[in-house]
Structures are given as structure tokens and as C-alpha cells.
Structure 1
């Protein structure tokens, strides 16, 4: 599966081991300080985006002279560096986009980055946020199957739209049948798969699925 992996400049302690996600079909993209994270991990940097206001002038000069594909932006702009990079990634029409370094730190950036997942719906591209403890994906209405994961024990579903209609969970510790879930509800937080495969379905709305470690 062709994948673009964007690494932004969120707190380093939230990053998983990036090399675990490297394979021949991954294109690595650095966003602002995330370029340094990629460089320090020894991963190939295909593209770089950002105003680079979170690194030193010396580091910025080294990057601009050593990276063949770098897009520099002013610090005063209408989109964050991460959104600019994600918009470019969506134009490449790859099957999957992974976002690293977009959690932790400032809550405004965190919430903004989570809402960027909404772009996946219109573009029909799988976009996933991954950090050291969580995997976050957004879903429009439909029926989906997920596998049990030995490390990601907890599965939570959080409404993003005003309401989730007809939510059904099968193969879970706490099943549901045709349940309506309002925005702001915590009903579907900290569920667990009891079968090797579980299904979730709903017929209207948009929700986040968050799979988390202990």
C-alpha cells in the first residue's frame, strides 16, 4: 500500500519509533521541526514543508541547503504547516496517509490536527494519526471490521458530528444495537474487543475511532 507519512514538530516524547513504520512504499515528509525528527531517525526525507519557526536559524539554513524538495512559507498564513503538507499529500492520491508529531503540546494544534481528518471523507483517503499511545482514525457512515490488537487494548468512538445514528457494535465487551449517540456523549469510550474481529456500523454522522494502549 502506497503511504505518505507526515512528521510534524509536536513534542518528541509523544512520537512512536518512526522506523517501525518504514517500508519501501512509504514517502516520508517533514513538517517544520518534524524534519529534524526524521533526520535524527535516519529516515529518507522526500519533501519538507513549513515556516520553520520552531528551529534555529542555523538548522533552517542547513535544511534549505541540503533538502532537494522543500516548501518554505511565511509564519503569517491562513493554514498551519501541517494542513499545507496534508493538502499536498492528498493531491498525490496515495492510499494511506499517516500523521506523526501532531499530538501533545498546545491543545489548539491538537484539536485542529484531529479535525484535519475530516478531509479524508471527501478525498476517500485513509488518514490516521499515530502517537506513542494512540491510533486515531475518522469514519463516515458505513459498516467496518477491525482486528483485535495485542497492544491497542482500548477502542473508543467519539462523535464529531451533531449525532451518530444507528450505532451498532458487535464483538465488543460492551455491544450496542442501533443506538443514537449525541455530540458530547462519553458512552463509547474505553470499549474492548472480545472477539478477534469486531464490527461497528452507523447510518448517519461522522465519528472518531481511537485505539489506545494501557
Structure 2
């Protein structure tokens, strides 16, 4: 899909809609080189009036899809029947095969909570190959590296969730900074903190952190 002549800067990212809660506001699709959805997300996009012809592919086992839309090139429907993988995982595999390294995901949360946890697990599996960011009505969340900086976040809610354990966590720029603590899902997590500086630094020695960045906290 060619978006080079729109006058809008196009990133090298892919945009993926999956079958959780639909976004309240659709993102600006002109910023993406590739746009895709799973078969379950196809339904809410259609109801929201999304320009379905803008989709580069629709993937899934199509167990929730009742017939093809006549306005869409049938070649864009990619049948992925493997029941050992989720539709989200299979869509990410297609995106990776197409050469993309960054993907923004909408519809990853909400709905049945086991699906939400499953989506996080899938993102964890791909974290070394894809930079995956989830967006919902409350926050953006993603896995971060061991030396991470984020800017323009003053007064925003920030939660550091260990996945499942993270050692020697040190932060700078948060209201309640960490100074070498170990975070664990069974003993101690760091949620509902907020940034009191424009730049926040997060460092840790071992494990993984799922970072949630929300709206203004105060």
C-alpha cells in the first residue's frame, strides 16, 4: 500500500487490530506502512466504519467470520488454521515475515481476561524480534530493555510490572523511585506510580518489566 504521497510522514511501523475491546478512537492510519487485523477484529472495524480497503491483510482461522466482504480483495484474507497458536501470534508471524520490526496493537485488552494474559505472553515471546506496543483507552504498555529512558511523561501514571521477577530495579524521575529492589508477581510489584519529571529512567539487572504509561495522574 503506497502512502508516500499523502504529505504525512510514514513510519516503518505496522498497525494491528486484534479481538479485544475496540479502540474508542481509531488511530491515524496514514502513519503506518502496513495495516492488518485478525478475523475477530474485522467485525468491530466494520461496525466502526473503518475503511476496510485500507487493510493489507486479515488473518485467522475465520471461526468468527461469516463470509468475505465483497469490497475487499479476497487475496488479503490469510487463512491460519493452526489451533496451537492464537490469532494474535499468527498475525505477528506474518508481520515479521514481511520485514517489520515495530507494531502498534489495538484491541489487546478487555474482553475475556485469559485472552489479555495470553496476549501479554505472546508479546513476551516476540520481544526480541518485534517492538510491540499495546494501546487501549487507559494506557500504552510494552516490554522495555534493561536500560530505558522515556521523555515527556511528567505527571503521567507509570506502572512497572515484573514478568515474573525483575532484580535490582533502579528508577529516576518517578514520585516513588526504586533503588535496587527486586520486583516479583508473588511478593512486590510497582504499580500506580507517576512521573514527577519529564524524563524517567529505568534500569534493572535481570528479568523483564512490562511498563504501563497512562494519562496524567495529578
Give me the TM-score of the superposition, normalised by structure 2.
0.83
Which position in structure 1 is the counterpart of 2:122? 116
Q: What is the count of residue pairs matched by the alignment?
A: 203
Shift of 1:54: 2.4
Summarize the Cα distance change of 1:172–1:91 in structure 2 as closer, same or farther, 3 Å threshold: same
Shift of 1:31: 0.5
Which protein is richer in helix relative to its size?
1
Partner Cα distance (1:114, 1:185) in 2: 20
Partner Cα distance (1:195, 1:98) in 2: 26
Which position in structure 2 is the counterpart of 1:41? 50
Corresponding residue to 2:183 among 157, 161, 181? 181
| 1:104 partnered with 2:115 | no
| 1:30 partnered with 2:37 | yes
Summarize the Cα distance change of 1:63–1:147 in structure 2 as closer, same or farther, 3 Å threshold: farther
Unaligned runs of 5+ in 1: none
Shift of 1:203: 1.1
- RMSD of the alignment, in Å? 2.3
Shift of 1:7: 0.5
Which position in structure 2 is the counterpart of 1:153? 156
Aligned partner of residue 110 in structure 1, secondary structure: helix
Which position in structure 2 is the counterpart of 1:93? 99
Which position in structure 1 is the counterpart of 2:87? 81
Which position in structure 1 is the counterpart of 2:198? 196
- C-alpha contact 1:64 1:70 (8 A) present in aligned 2: no
Deviations 1:141-169 (A, max 9, x none): x211112347x8210011113x2111001
Partner Cα distance (1:116, 1:64) in 2: 32
Aligned partner of residue 87 in structure 1, secondary structure: helix
Which position in structure 1 is the counterpart of 2:211? 209
Unaligned runs of 5+ in 2: 1-10
Partner Cα distance (2:209, 2:71) in 1: 39
Aligned partner of residue 90 in structure 2, secondary structure: helix
Deviations 1:22-55 (A, max 9, x none): 2243311010121234442226100110122224
Partner Cα distance (2:190, 2:157) in 1: 11
- C-alpha contact 1:35 1:45 (8 A) present in aligned 2: no
Aligned partner of residue 175 in structure 1, secondary structure: coil
Q: Which residues of 2 match residues 53-64 of structure 1 at below 5 A?
A: 53-55=63-65, 57=66, 60-62=67-69
